[in-house]
Structure 1
Amino acid sequence: MKTLEHDSVSTPRRPLRWLVAALIGVLAVAAALAVGEFVSVFTGAGSSPFLAVGNSAIDLTPEWLKQFAIRNFGTNDKLVLLAGMAVTILVAAVVAGLLSRRSPLPGMVIAAAFGALAVLAVLTRPDTDVLSVLAPLASLVVGVLVFRWLHGVAVDRLAAGSSEKDGLTRRRFLYSAAGTAVGAGVLGGAGTLLTGSSDIEASRAAIGKLTVRSPAPPIPASAGYEALGATKFITDNREFYRIDTALTLPRLTAEDWRLKIHGLVDNEVTFDFADIRGRELIEKTITMTCVSNEVGGPYISTSNFIGVPLRDLLNEAGVQDVGGQVFATSVDGWTTATPVRDMLDEKRGALLAIGMNGEALPLEHGFPARVIVPGLYGYASACKWVVDLELIRYCQKSFYWQDRDWAVEAPIKTQSRIDVPAGFATVAAGKVQVAGVAWAQTTGIAKVEIRMDGGPWQTAELATEVNDRTWRQWRAEVDLSSGSHRVEVRATDRSGKTQPQERVPPIPDGATGWHSILFSVD
């Protein structure tokens, strides 16, 4: 039997087996991704084809779907996205293989299309440059060539039929497939190891203890009702909520970090980490709230943040337009804009933070440095991994979430939440403790009320106020008989404003409504 020569359009006399065809697709994609990841070590993390497509998917995801992911998966939303992408790519690879049982052209076209998509994703990322395109281009070329090569080896195996060459061609395909798998694994592993070579945690650990000139006042025991099962007043770093658009955490050492302040200023200035740490650090107890927090939601936490007043840094640069905005950019290209007046407000106390609860900022919370502006939702103020502050005229530029129709300014709304009892819990009859938190950052909570089963409102006992930039805990005692009960809560801030009953979703400028839970009494 004449051996079938495989050129770019050769076709086996009979189609490849389903399993063989699918395996070719999967191995070609694995090789393409591995090469792309390896090259991205040298061209920048943002050039990773897999991550670039994932980040673009985040940017293009409809708002309702993003909120669905946050509500249902919380801080695991990015893990779900990555897993979903992996499954999608796997399915596409299998389909590419199955469509190519007779000819390699369909699979090569699909591989090229995926590579082109990655190239486009990298070119449109804000944290990439022209050189970054080398990673997805490498993926494209390798994906097409490996698919063509493996398909040709499989065609040779099929053409050999029952001849003496059958064993040789079978082994050749098996060795080729195994070699491709091992090569992809080695390159992928090398890329992972090299990506971690900057050793961010080592840089963070080397910072050591942060010496604070002006520590935050100790939290009095009377500031919370933890003994009742209520939320801890200070949130542990590991439990502090995290909502952002970073598919993978930016990797920037303290040694490499720089903050540039420019734009409508008298003097452009640049600070490095040593400059900031060498200043007189202050510590402030601040509650942060995410605009994605539904009524009664978990995306609110309190920490002792360490840093320097942003007011001082801006004044050193010389602000030219106090009615403008500070346009902040993260190292990964994410942007936000905050009114200059809020950053300069001494009472509000905006910080460039480098520490959190006595230690350097955790990587997921902005290491080496981040912006914190009390009283504003984070999407319009709290830039993590910040590297650039540009002073602009008001709305001269639009920022990430503004481009997606969120509000330009984002003052945190007065809200309250019930933590005890838990929803649908069963408690003993008699005197039942109800407790929770309320917040109106920079205004302060004046009163919290609860009502049982739609009855009259009763005023709750307020815990000691730490400051008007933090939440305030509350408790009430009610005498209840056996059965099912519903408790509602509402708060009134120091301006006299009581949170409205009407439920409003978080987007575009924060949720409103009374939180309520159902529970049972034995």
Structure 2
Amino acid sequence: MTVEKRARPPIAAAVSGLLAATAALGAAELGAALLRPQASPLLAVGSAFIDLTPAWLKDFAIRTFGANDKTVLLLGLVTAVAACAAAVGVLSTRRPRVAAGGLAALGAVATVAALSRPDAVPTDALPSLVAAVTGAPALLVLRRARAPREPHRALETAPQTTHRKAAAPAPGKAAERLQETAPETVRTDRRALLRTGVAVLGFAAISGGTARAVNAARDAAAGGAGLTLPLPSDPARPLLPGGDLRLPGLSSFTTPNRSFYRVDTALVVPRVPYRDWRLRIHGLVDRPVELTFDQILSRPLVERDITLTCVSNEVGGPYAGHARWLGVDLAGLLREAGVRAGADQILSRSADGWTGGTAVEAVLDGRDALLAIGMNGEVLPAAHGFPARMIVPGLYGYVSATKWVTELKLTRFADEQAYWTRRGWAENAPIKTASRIEVPKAFARIPAGRTTIAGTAWAQHRGVAAVEVRVDEGPWTQALLAPSPTPDTWRQWHLDWPATPGDHHLEVRATDTAGEVQPSQRTPPFPDGATGRHSVLVTVR
């Protein structure tokens, strides 16, 4: 009698692949935590993906997902890894060598990604190698655990009768016993797979949990908790009465730290212990300088109100915010180093290897450019650049506001390009005159009668001179401007409107102190910032 093998369930094989991948990633995360967190395979691949992202896809991600763009990317990576792992698990049932090759290929991709980072060191390859070395044995163990046994072997191992000369069972009886034994064999295979799967999952949980604990301890040590910043020797001017209109639905004049926009390429916030932090100023200088955080604290500190804007901000978008910054005069630092003739670019480098290119002239022309260490009366939050970041008023963030800054290299635009300029964005990016309607919101339904139209406008380092509003393509009406302490901040504005029933189109435009009026035609952010007028549709009942 011929007994066929029971087919291996594809679901069990796919689950085996997922469990093996989970164990591999857990071991890799632990290795990265012990070496360098940025060497994590997921983070390395995600960062490499960001580097390769074209401008249109970057803008789409920011426009669609906002501050959650990095979370969406990580979820996408996890989903892709899970799909690959499940496919490898199914493949291992018939072609284990090919499946092992698939795991090796995934490890190779992660290794190349880790070593391609700007600040990579040779040991960054180790976590990805650990993942490959861990995943392959885990998959083999799980494969063996789920492998079905021959039913006739179960029959051969059945308890024998105590009588030595017992007659051989009749064929019908043997088949009956086989049918009784085979289900028990299936249950035994499932129990073995369950035990092995729990063991592999436990290993992944322990290694991953340990990695998180190590990273949490490192983050706590790196943060500025308990650090008290000195008072500024040159404090900011007091905010003028009425500068914040405090209208419901209108952004506050000063943006709280927790609400301040964040747009950068870092998948996880770099954690730099401030006692280990160094700022190096070198390149085309007469006297290279290296400063510690304590040396920065010992210098006279300057406090300024400055509004920042991201070049990715669409017309009417949310990526603008205002804060009171504390730091040292950036121009003074450059003059101490002695900028040589011919140097026209400050190539700033972040702790994660990202670079930004700032025109030397924009820092030395008298504006309040800072190396900031404080924000809104607090130590600079980690998400916004602790221990230190650049702030250069009047320029979009990608050329002026490098976070986690560790290096300032004086060079030439003709010789070196920063991260985004290599990808086609403009070298010089002054912030364009902009305004937005915040009250009422788009598609709002409001009662008829006197209502308020309000919003914010900015033209950093030039200042906003006027804001005008029109309804349904009618005449432009001057809005009332709230006072602003300096040209480097945005201004709130408002206008009383006698709203009549029906659907209405509200439009705003600003004029800066140079007489530049917002154009009517909209252009996208690439390559040097969006332009155009913001408008909303509302319904009056």
The answer to whether TM tops 0.5 is: yes
For residue 509 of structure 2, give the secondary structure of its aligned residue in structure 1: strand
CA contact (8 A) 2:223 2:272 kept: no
Cα distance change of structure 1 residues 484 and 14 upon mapping to structure 2, 3 Å threshold: same
- Which residue does 1:275 correspond to in 2? 295
Stretch deviating more after TM superposition (48-57 or 191-200): 191-200
2:485 to 466, 489, 495: 466
CA contact (8 A) 2:5 2:148 kept: no
- Which residue does 1:259 correspond to in 2? 279
* 1:318-359 superposed Cα distances (whole Å, 9 cap, x missing partner): 11136510000000010111011111222x111000000000
Larger C-alpha radius of gyration, 1 or 2?
2
Runs of 4+ with >3 A deviation: 12-15, 156-173, 199-203
- Which amino acid in structure 2 is aligned with residue 242 of structure 1? R
- Which amino acid in structure 2 is aligned with residue 435 of structure 1? A
- Which residue does 1:63 correspond to in 2? 55
- Which residue does 1:305 correspond to in 2? 325
- Which residue does 2:98 correspond to in 1? 106
- Which residue does 1:141 correspond to in 2? 133
> Deviation of residue 157 (structure 1)?
5.1
CA contact (8 A) 1:286 1:302 kept: yes
1:338 to 352, 358, 371: 358
Pair 1:30-2:16 in alignment: no
Cα distance change of structure 1 residues 408 and 160 upon mapping to structure 2, 3 Å threshold: farther
User: Structure 1, unaligned stretches of length 5 or more?
Assistant: 2-11
- Which residue does 1:521 correspond to in 2? 540
CA contact (8 A) 2:464 2:510 kept: yes
CA contact (8 A) 1:160 1:169 kept: no
2:385 to 366, 389, 397: 366
* 1:189-233 superposed Cα distances (whole Å, 9 cap, x missing partner): 101111122234774112124422222122223113223542210
Stretch deviating more after TM superposition (103-112 or 282-291): 103-112
> Deviation of residue 17 (structure 1)?
1.3
* 1:362-419 superposed Cα distances (whole Å, 9 cap, x missing partner): 1100011100111000011110000011000233111111111111111000111111
> Deviation of residue 159 (structure 1)?
7.9
For residue 227 of structure 1, give the secondary structure of its aligned residue in structure 2: coil
Matches within 5 A, 1:420-499: 420-499=439-518
RMSD: 1.9
CA contact (8 A) 1:21 1:97 kept: yes
Calculate percent identity across the aligned residue pairs.
Answer: 46
Pair 1:17-2:9 in alignment: yes
1:245 to 260, 265, 279: 265
Matches within 5 A, 1:114-133: 114-133=106-125
1:45 to 24, 33, 37: 37
Distance 1:158 1:490 in 2: 80
- Which amino acid in structure 2 is aligned with residue 79 of structure 1? T
1:511 to 515, 520, 530: 530
User: Structure 2, unaligned stretches of length 5 or more?
Assistant: 159-184
Distance 1:162 1:78 in 2: 53
Stretch deviating more after TM superposition (209-218 or 506-515): 209-218
Stretch deviating more after TM superposition (498-507 or 389-398): 389-398
* 1:32-78 superposed Cα distances (whole Å, 9 cap, x missing partner): 11111111123211211111011111111232222111111100110
Cα distance change of structure 1 residues 201 and 217 upon mapping to structure 2, 3 Å threshold: farther
For residue 153 of structure 1, give the secondary structure of its aligned residue in structure 2: helix
Stretch deviating more after TM superposition (451-460 or 313-322): 313-322
- Which amino acid in structure 2 is aligned with residue 395 of structure 1? A
Alignment length (residue pairs) = 511
For residue 474 of structure 2, give the secondary structure of its aligned residue in structure 1: coil
> Deviation of residue 107 (structure 1)?
2.1
- Which amino acid in structure 2 is aligned with residue 40 of structure 1? A
Stretch deviating more after TM superposition (87-96 or 239-248): 87-96
> Deviation of residue 104 (structure 1)?
1.6
CA contact (8 A) 2:243 2:484 kept: yes
Distance 1:304 1:217 in 2: 10
Pair 1:222-2:242 in alignment: yes
> Deviation of residue 96 (structure 1)?
1.3
1:84 to 59, 76, 90: 76
Pair 1:189-2:209 in alignment: yes
Distance 1:159 1:99 in 2: 24
Given the two structures, how large is their TM-score scaled by the length of structure 1? Answer: 0.94
